[in-house]
Chain A
Amino acid sequence: GAGVSQSPSNKVTEKGKDVELRCDPISGHTALYWYRQSLGQGLEFLIYFQGNSAPDKSGLPSDRFSAERTGGSVSTLTIQRTQQEDSAVYLCASSLYGQGDYEQYFGPGTRLTVT
């Protein structure tokens, strides 16, 4: 079956512009996660969605970052007024349920470069 897909695969933007990153999770997965991975760094948790519950936004680094998940499926991560330090690979993952003992399925990521 189809895995997690993300678009675009690469995005180059100018400092100060807004960007939207999209994630299509595996059908039927109730949990969706966004992570950020910078060069030489581990996966940094950003935000977590579980069903229709309020998202866990505890990992968002600033109020320039926001995300939504429509209809319990597709999710969009928006970064406003991008800064150079936002350059990273943004990864989306989904899992059947949002518990630590369920494996996460990752998308290929979106490489964001802010010039």
Chain B
Amino acid sequence: SQKIEQNSEALNIQEGKTATLTCNYTNYSPAYLQWYRQDPGRGPVFLLLIRENEKEKRKERLKVTFDTTLKQSLFHITASQPADSATYLCALGRKGYSTLTFGKGTMLLVSP
């Protein structure tokens, strides 16, 4: 069956460092991969989308990579700040399908 794995353990890093979050998938051939941020008590907020033919996407301090051979996406936040502390969700979409499948998310904690 299709499976999306994100590290269930929280990632603790110090302010100013680069945070790297992982999204692995099996039995899936996504055409699109999206990353969302979710704060406690709120709905997810879209951050970045990357397509299967794109290796890397950047937006300000955020960078996403997509390796369809390794079946993995990496999400990087450079120069992290305490305000970046949140849960980050990856979501996969297939061509011709309208729905996304979400991972369970990884909590990021950035300490001052």
Contact = CB atoms under 8 A, between A and B. Distances in A.
Contacts of B104: 40-42
Given A41-B104, A42-B104, A101-B51, A109 B98 contact: no
A43 interface: yes
Interface string A8-38: 0000000000000000000000010101000
A25 to B, nearest CB: 12
A103 B98 contact: no
Contacts of A100: 30-32, 92-95, 97-100
A50 B98 contact: yes
Interface residues of B, number: 28
B89 interface: yes
Given A108-B43, A109-B43, A43 B102 contact: yes
B65 interface: no
B89 to A, nearest CB: 7
Contacts of A33: 99
A62 B102 CA distance: 21
Interface in B97-112: 97-105
A35 B112 CA distance: 34
Contacts of B105: 42
A108 B41 CA distance: 7
A88 B43 CA distance: 13
B46 interface: yes
A101 B89 contact: no
Contacts of A35: 102
B73 interface: no
B43 A107 contact: yes
Interface in A43-74: 43, 45, 48, 50, 56, 59
Listed from nearest, the 4 A-B pairs whose CB atoms lie closest are A100-B93, A106-B43, A98-B98, A103-B46
Given A93-B43, A101-B51, A106-B45, A43 B94 contact: no
Contacts of B80: none
